Amino acid sequence: MRPLINAACLLAALALPTAAPAALKVGDKAPAFTTQASLAGKDFGFSLANALKKGPVVLYFFPAAFTPGCTVEAHEFAEATDDFNKMGATVIGMAADTIEDLNRFSVKECRNKFAVGVATPAMIKGYDVPLKMIGIPSGRTDRTSYVIAPDGKIVFVHSDMGVAGHVKGTMAAVKAWQAKH
């Protein structure tokens, strides 16, 4: 099953970026969740509510750990994580992978910089991020990034299977939010 997912993610990464409609819009309340997550290869319980107490949350969904586009995106977020942290923002990536896969991904591709969590079916439905590609097993997520303000409201959405724009857009949104607060 993994080769099929890898091939589909590679095709998606090579294709011209196309917008995928995200159900959640700027101004919507982000669904609360708790899930298993990993940082630096160690799993822990992640709570959106707890993270929002510290500042904005950059929540990005990606199709699968260790696929070409998802690896590039993880590297880009890893490079930007220190800047997000300086602005008080928490970065967390979400995929419908096992915690064991995410433990390895958090070390190798996220470079121990930010957490990655297990996207549960309820989260995928709540954030309306199911991957809708022919030949891809159901249960995976598309590539969508959100910035959620501490009040739980979404202040930025970028939904595109292409990697470009996710880090740059979320960074700009956090800067804009911080400038107002």
Would you list the domain boundaries of the chain? 2-12+19-180
Query: Which pair of tokens denotes residue 68?
Result: 């070409």
- For residue 129, give the amino acid letter: V
If one counts every other C-beta atom within 10 angstroms of the C-beta of residue 4, the result is: 11
- The per-residue pLDDT for range 28-67, each reduced to its tens digit, is 999 999 999 999 999 999 999 999 999 999 999 999 999 9
Are the beta carbons of 123 and 33 closer than 8 angstroms? Answer: yes
Between residues 2 and 14, which one has the greater pLDDT?
A: 2
- The per-residue pLDDT for range 99-116, each reduced to its tens digit, is 999 999 999 999 999 999
| Confidence tier at 134 by pLDDT (50, 70, 90) | low
For residue 70, indicate whether it is catalytic: yes
CATH architecture, domain 2-12+19-180: 3-Layer(aba) Sandwich (3.40)
Are the beta carbons of 154 and 148 closer than 8 angstroms? Answer: yes
- Reduced to 3 states, what is the DSSP secondary structure of residue 46? strand
Which of these is catalytic: 8, 24, 37, 70? Answer: 70
Residue 139 vs residues 81, 96, 118: alpha-carbon distances, Å: 28, 7, 12
**Predicted local distance difference test score (pLDDT) of residue 132:** 82
Query: Which pair of tokens denotes residue 88?
Result: 């008080």
Q: Which long-range contacts (CB under 8 A, 24 or more apart) does 42-47 make?
A: 42/103, 43/99, 43/102, 43/103, 44/115, 46/92, 46/115, 46/117
Are the beta carbons of 130 and 123 closer than 8 angstroms? Answer: no
Least confident of 9-18, 27-36, 54-63, 75-84: 9-18
DSSP 141: B
* The model's pTM: 0.86
